[in-house]
Amino acid sequence: MTEAWLKPSRNIWGRKSKPVRKVSLRVGRLFADDDRDGVANVFDCRPKNPRHQDFGKWKGRSAKPGQGIRGPEEITAARRFGGANIKRLKQIGSGRDRVVYQLDKNKVLKIAKTPGGLTQNIPEQDLGGYLGHLEHFESGKDYVVMEKAEPRGKATKKFIRGLKKAQYDTSAGTFRSGISEKARDYLEKKGYGDLMDYEINKDILHKTSWGEKEGEPVLTDAGALLRSQDLKNFRIKHLRESAAKGDQAARHDLQEWREIQAERRRFGRKGEKIETPREEKVEVADEPRSEKEERVE
């Protein structure tokens, strides 16, 4: 006959519950840092998630000049977010000079692929400030965090078709190589006259340069606000040729790009998953039986 203390007991709902013989304990890991995010397990709400702190809002302390990092503008995306973490993000766009990742449902991360991408990151702040198209959250040495636009809807597609039609309408004669006067008039008519304050280029005609917010077209690519010649001047080939001729500005830009690449390599593995020790199974000794349990009829 089975001893009473081995028989499964009943809980308050009348269901049978099996006697627990083993419990899982992690020994010596309370003050360890399994995800290597700088927060001990005992104080970390997600001790196995290395991305939790990395992709949060910048919380670094401002430092005095020459005494440390004063803000995110002094570091690359690899150092700020972790190179391995960035690789796990969903890529939603890529061009000649920049690549775009979805940071979360409301934000995107734009990272420069070339020195030209660094130049295109600069006017991104105007999209959220002066132009008021999309909110700007943060800028770094080689990246920018912006508000994520909604997919292009009917209104935006119709707007782009009208813009292209105005650009290539030659009924009034030929036009200069940039944006035609008719296209500029079209933008003014549609309420985008503030764009005329910039030396816009033909990238503004591409559908990939536009998104949608609250049903209205918004510009998502600040590279369209720059002159075409400015974009060409910051290509690697042009910078090398200019530096070879003694152009100090080109040499400075190339040196800055080399430093960014070196920092990317240094922090390329930041955020990699690490193997954590397996949970140890600790035997729990059986409790002494009472006199009633020892009496077996």
Structure tokens at 21: 């013989």
Q: What is the DSSP letter of 215?
A: T
Of 45, 9, 209, 213, give the one whose Cα is nearest residue 120.
Answer: 209
Q: Cα–Cα distance between 36 and 258 in angstroms, integer?
A: 27
* Residue 277: pLDDT band with limits 50, 70, 90: very low
Provide the β-strand partners of residue 10. Answer: 16
Question: What confidence tier does 272 reach under pLDDT thresholds 50, 70, 90?
Answer: confident
**What are the structure tokens assigned to 213, written together?**
């917010």
pTM to 2 decimals? 0.71
Which is it for the CA torsion 10, 15, 19, 25, positive or negative?
Answer: negative
Position 263 scores a pLDDT of: 93
Residue 19: pLDDT over 60? no
In this structure, which topology does domain 72-266 adopt according to CATH?
Phosphorylase Kinase; domain 1 (3.30.200)
Domain ranges of the chain: 72-266
Q: Using one digit for the tens of pLDDT, what is the confidence trace for 144-163?
A: 999 999 999 999 999 999 99
Question: What is the C-alpha separation between 109 and 102, in angstroms, rounded?
Answer: 6
For residue 217, what pLDDT is reported? 94
270 versus 36: which is more confidently predicted? Answer: 270
CB 135 within 8 A of CB 128: yes
Rounded to whole angstroms, the Cα distance separating 114 from 95 reads 10
Quote the Cα angle for 158-163-165, to 5°: 95
pLDDT for the residue numbered 21: 43
pLDDT at 66: 52
The pLDDT tens digits of the residues spanning 193-245 come to 999 888 888 899 999 999 999 999 999 999 999 988 888 888 888 999 999 99
Alpha-carbon distance of 51 to 291, in angstroms, equals 55
Which DSSP symbol is given to 150? B
Measured distance CA(237)–CA(121) in Å, rounded? 20
Q: Is the pLDDT of residue 15 over 90?
A: no
Residue 72, pLDDT score? 82
Encoded tokens for 194: 């503030």
Q: What is the pLDDT of residue 228?
A: 86
